[in-house]
Amino acid sequence: MSCLLQHPTGEHMDEVFDFMQDCDVAEFGEEDSSRDDLAQQWSEIDLSRDAWITYDQGGGLNGYACVSGAAEGLQQDIYILLTTTPAGIEDVLMKACLERARELRAKAEPGREFILKGYATAVNTRLQQVYEKFGFTRHTVHYRMQINLSAPLPAPEWPPRYRLAPYDPRDEQELYDLIESAFDWQGRERNSIENWRNLVLRGGRFDPRYFLLVRDGERLIAAALAYNEGIEGWIRQLAVAKDHQGFGLGGLLLRQMFHLFSVEGLPRVALGVASVNEKACKFYERNGMFRSREFIEYRKPID
């Protein structure tokens, strides 16, 4: 197997994004990647060191990978087109990612555990095999939960004590505190406000109308943070304060988001949830969502 491995430049973005979309279609039957997310990722990494593309002898792009920062260490993304990428390209890309991860590990704080993680879909056995071949272990499984929308849905009726409002920048600290306290389950590392801000605010690329906050009096007690992706609504985070859980607020908030996206004419709403959180999976299923895709998260300590 021979390939031409090189680092991309900004001029390759459209070509790489089209390749990612082709990979999505091959695995899911539909496009799933966001060009805006790719643009943001590329703005945050060093393309000359953290990203790679491979070409066949005819000049056709047949592989892409990158390493980027993550709260618990590093994350790598590897894309191969199941229908046309020759076997072995994933090994080339994996070796490049691991070499770069070790370089970054050498610059990190001594004594701190440094993890490289990546994902493979349940249908992409080639990526699963390369992760396991290079010493990664399966950490958890993540589901994409989805509901299909065929017509506008009515807004749910909220008790008068609750007040709904879109996000305002002055809400940032209060919203961050709510998210972190609601997601404070055993084994989860607390996210810094800087990492959280980068994750959900997308460098300002979000619409405050889809960041919906719920207050009981003056206190923020629930929130749904979502994006209109054009092809679907994507709920990034949905949280209810612990002392307000069990009273139906989560269902009301979820159905409110279904309403918002359905009146925009979007065909579906989706979100991600870890398989270990079976309680959340059942909650979403009770509210009309189903498990449409499965992703395996792999992790490897970098020494």
- Does residue 71 have a pLDDT over 60? no
Report how many helices (DSSP H) and strands (DSSP E) the chain contains, helices first. 9, 12
- CATH fourth-level superfamily of 150-266: Gcn5-related N-acetyltransferase (GNAT) (3.40.630.30)
Q: Look at 202 and 68; give whichever has higher pLDDT.
A: 68
pLDDT > 90 in the chain, percent: 76
Structure confidence at residue 31 (pLDDT)? 85
Residue 64 to residue 16: CA distance in whole angstroms: 7
Tell me, which fold does domain 4-142 have in CATH?
Aminopeptidase (3.40.630)
Confirm if 200 and 37 have CB atoms less than 8 A apart.
no
> What residues does CATH 3.40.630.30 cover in the chain?
4-142, 150-266
Residues facing 295 on adjacent strands: 121, 142
Is the separation of the CB atoms in 163 and 255 below 8 Å? Answer: no
pLDDT, greater one: 265 or 184? 265
Alpha-carbon distance of 172 to 11, in angstroms, equals: 35
Distances in Å between the Cα of 76 and the Cα atoms of 45, 105, 119 are: 12, 14, 8
> In this predicted structure, what is the pLDDT of residue 252?
97
Poorest-pLDDT segment among 80-94, 95-109, 169-183, 188-202: 188-202
* Confidence class for position 189, pLDDT limits 50, 70, 90: low
Q: Categorize the per-residue pLDDT at 191 as very low, low, confident or very high, splitting at 50, 70 and 90.
A: confident
pLDDT the model gives residue 17: 97
Quick check: 95 pLDDT over 60? yes
Mean of pLDDT values over 78-101: 95
> pLDDT confidence of 200, banded at 50, 70, 90?
confident
pLDDT: which is higher, 94 or 276:
94
Q: Are 288 and 145 in contact (CB under 8 A)?
A: no
Parallel, antiparallel, or unpaired: how do β-strands 268-274 and 73-79 relate? Answer: unpaired
Report the DSSP beta bridge partners of residue 143.
273, 294
pTM assigned to the model: 0.86
Please tell me the predicted confidence (pLDDT) of residue 186. Answer: 47
Beta partners for residue 146, in sequence order: 270, 290
Task: Say which residue the tokens 């004419």 belong to.
Answer: 265
Token couple for 276: 């270990």
Classify burial at 210, counting beta carbons within 10 Å of its beta carbon; exposed 0-12, middle 13-18, buried 19 or more: buried
Highest mean pLDDT among 71-85, 103-117, 169-183 belongs to 169-183
Helix-strand-coil split of the chain, %, nearest 5: 40, 30, 30
**Average pLDDT of span 149-153:** 95
C-beta of residue 145 within 8 angstroms of C-beta of residue 290: yes
Q: Output the pLDDT for position 222.
A: 97
CA dist., res. 299 & res. 39, Å (int): 25
DSSP result, 182-212: HT--TTPPPPPHHHHHHHHHGGG-S-GGGEE
- Identify whether the C-beta of residue 275 lies closer than 8 Å to the C-beta of residue 119: no
Average confidence (pLDDT) over 132-157: 96
Report the C-alpha gap between 137 and 117 in whole angstroms. Answer: 9
At 97-136, the pLDDT tens digits run 999 999 998 887 777 788 999 999 999 999 999 999 999 9
**Could you tell me the pLDDT band of residue 292, with boundaries at 50, 70 and 90?**
very high
pLDDT tens profile 235-289: 999 999 999 999 999 999 999 999 999 999 999 999 999 988 888 999 999 999 9
